[in-house]
Structure 1
Amino acid sequence: MPVAVAASGDTNVVEDLYGILRVLSDGTVVRSPDPPEFCPITFPCDHPSVQWKEAVYDKGKNLRVRMYKPSGGGEQAGRKLPVLVHFHGGGFCLGSCTWGNFHSFCLRLAAEAGAVVLSAGYRLAPEHRLPAALDDATGFLEWLREQSVSTEAEDGWLTEAADFGRVFITGDSAGGTLAHHLAVRAGSATPKHGDDVDSVTIKGYILLMPFFGGVDRTRSEALEFLLAEEPFLNLAVLDRFWRLSLPEGASRDHPIANPFGADSPGLGSVEFPPVLVVSSGTDLLHDRTVDYAERLAGMGKPVKVVDFPNDPHGFFTQDPWSETTGELIRLVSVFVVDSCVSVAAPKTA
């Protein structure tokens, strides 16, 4: 049950994430009812060219999805639109599809990418430790499949605009980690045949500064100026996220945290569609992100890397209406178009 928020100096507080989430010495988890300071209420709730609505995709867990589509959807233009399934960040401990910064980013993404955007919530740690979030993400894709074949799905609001043959999985930070694991699950599954053909076709994955970890520090994590307590996202905070979200007793080399850890599944035989990996130069996670992309490329996977050298982790949710965020969305749009184009093989003489 919710309890009063403990004071920041309370000696009973053993874990504290920005005052938004506190864990007390008896194991009680206290979440603030107020939006975080980095999510001001001044973020716009609407966009002149985007329609949006909210639905519950898992009633038992009360998990919600916010759905966005350009005004008129794709049906008025005589075509349906690609679908971007988006999972928010927050170290698996924080965040919601209802937060103003995530909402604003999805509004702009739908408008400027010309796509249906589905921002899906998932259960958070430490109340629900991993793999709960991954199970929920998998469950959301099952819900999406049900919507794609249902004649009564959300009274047509989604199905009239969404092209379920052009679906992309996107994720910010922890959401990017979910996108990776969804790709591995899908790419390791036995292909379906005949009447069992999947009604949803995933054309690609977009990992926006994914949240990966490991026991051994990378250079970008170990730089002394990044270890200070002042920055919004520092090494102590990253470790706290993993400590609260991974299964009890697990290290940062757990397969969910480290895709290349000793116990992680090999990726060589996994079939990947095109993957876009976005990194940022001032991000503690920069080296892990780049290493991830380089390893995939070394295995022959179709991966493209884009780097924003002067920007921080998650800049597009910190300032969803910035010029740089607009450039990111443009790159995502190009990736979506390119991944959907089938290039015929050249004829031989």
Structure 2
Amino acid sequence: MSQFSPLKIEDSTDPEEVVNVSGVLKLYRDGSIFRLEDPQMFVKASLEGEDGVASKDVVLNEKLGLWVRLYLPSSHLQQQTEKRRLPLIVYFHGGGFCLASPALPDYHNFTLKLAASVGAIVISVAYRLAPEHRLPAAYDDCIKALQWVSSHAVDGGDFERDLWLDFQADFSRVYLLGDSAGGNIANHVLLQCGGVEAWSPMRVRGAIFVQPYFGSVQRTRSESECPPDAWLSLQLSDAGWRLSLPVGSDRDHPFSNPWSPEAPKLEEAPLPPLLVAIGGRDMLRDRGHDYCESLKQCGKSVEVVVFEEEEHAFYALKPHCDSSERLMEKISHFISSSLSEAVIHITDVAG
């Protein structure tokens, strides 16, 4: 059963509270922040091969608090050989830029299932959260994580290497995957890395955006018609942007609005093939469709899959429902069949 319950912006009897998200995240007038970190809500990495997949945590930058959780199908755990390398998925979790981590059970279980279903190494990135660290902190952290991954594809480098990646990962088959805020992160990472020289050894073959989190000052129809008791409500979405965008910015900031005049031009970006998943009852569905239509008009390769009966984050709320199983099948098929020559190379990217 999912650990999540619907998150709401609650009225508070405490006059010092500015924001209260279901008691999970509280922002006070003096600038202090409370974020629930109940150890019962989190799970530890396991080297025993949980659900046929082993996992472990690696700290990349102790000062920043940047770490990743690696997942490896257990059948490959002891196979220190280069003869059969696995595709690599770099995963950016959701949470409105303000909540969650790879250790949250829903995301841990999602990545376990992803590694087992696809037969891939998965790297889940624990990036810094807002409002303590507003954007672009999450983007910078995820680019640093990709730099660390890419450093394994060359000799030398400034990063400490990991044996799972050294001996098991196929750096010619790398994929980015992000859900909700993580989909937004994946989009920005790809756009920021578009100018890297083509000789880089690591190749991103494709990207998967699951219900990506975009916004603007102007409301879409699906936003205006969103019921207040939806899993992702308009009030909650707006709060996420208020807490994560640079101070003084509105939702037309390029971090939020991919059509902002200051945003990178989609038509100029050498994007890999994309798979975009949209929920038919998700408040963000219109933005997802508009984003895909813009990419298609630019001549980009985009596959769209719509789960008509699903709200936001259905894959975490209902991991064993038909839609969640179909999403996993779509991701697996996309990765196994992605043979396009349109690739992006990521290395030496300015953080």
TM over 0.5: yes
Which residue of the other structure, out of 162, 171, 184, is the alignment partner of 1:177?
A: 184
One-letter amino acid of the structure 2 residue matched with residue 217 of structure 1: R
Deviation for aligned residue 1:40: 8.3
1:98 matches 2:103? yes
Distance 1:305 1:117 in 2: 23
Contact 2:177 2:207 in 1 (8 A): yes
Gaps of 5+ in 2: 1-10, 343-351
Q: For structure 1, which segment, 230-239 or 295-304, has the greater mean C-alpha deviation from structure 2 after superposition? A: 230-239
Give aligned pairs, total: 325
The within-5 A match list for 1:303-342 is 303-340=302-339
Distance 2:231 2:310 in 1: 13
Which residue of the other structure, out of 57, 61, 65, is the alignment partner of 1:58?
A: 61
Which residue of the other structure, out of 23, 28, 49, is the alignment partner of 1:24?
A: 28
Higher relative contact order, chain-length normalized (CA < 8 Å, sep 6+): 2
Give a deviation string over 1:176-209, Cα, whole Å, max 9, x none: 001111111222x0424xxxx2121111111010
Q: Using a 3 Å threshold, how does the CA distance of structure 1 residues 156 and 150 change in structure 2: closer, same or farther?
A: farther
Q: What residue is the counterpart of 1:202 in the other structure? A: 204
The two structures have a TM-score, normalised by structure 2, of: 0.87
Distance 1:211 1:342 in 2: 28
Report SS of the residue matched to 2:76: coil
One-letter amino acid of the structure 2 residue matched with residue 33 of structure 1: E
Query: Could you say what the CA RMSD is over the residues aligned between the two structures, in angstroms?
Result: 2.4
One-letter amino acid of the structure 2 residue matched with residue 172 of structure 1: D
Contact 1:85 1:170 in 2 (8 A): yes
Q: What residue is the counterpart of 2:221 in the other structure? A: 219
Distance 1:342 1:141 in 2: 20
Contact 1:253 1:262 in 2 (8 A): no
Distance 1:205 1:35 in 2: 32
1:117 matches 2:122? yes
Report SS of the residue matched to 1:30: strand
Distance 1:155 1:297 in 2: 38
One-letter amino acid of the structure 1 residue matched with residue 122 of structure 2: V
Gaps of 5+ in 1: 1-6, 344-349
From the CA coordinates, give the structure whose radius of gyration is larger. 1
Deviation for aligned residue 1:155: 5.2
The two structures have a TM-score, normalised by structure 1, of: 0.87
Deviation for aligned residue 1:262: 2.8
Deviation for aligned residue 1:341: 6.3
One-letter amino acid of the structure 2 residue matched with residue 186 of structure 1: C
Contact 2:278 2:306 in 1 (8 A): yes
Q: Using a 3 Å threshold, how does the CA distance of structure 1 residues 35 and 211 change in structure 2: closer, same or farther?
A: farther
Q: What residue is the counterpart of 1:3 in the other structure? A: none
Q: What residue is the counterpart of 2:136 in the other structure? A: 131
One-letter amino acid of the structure 1 residue matched with residue 70 of structure 2: M
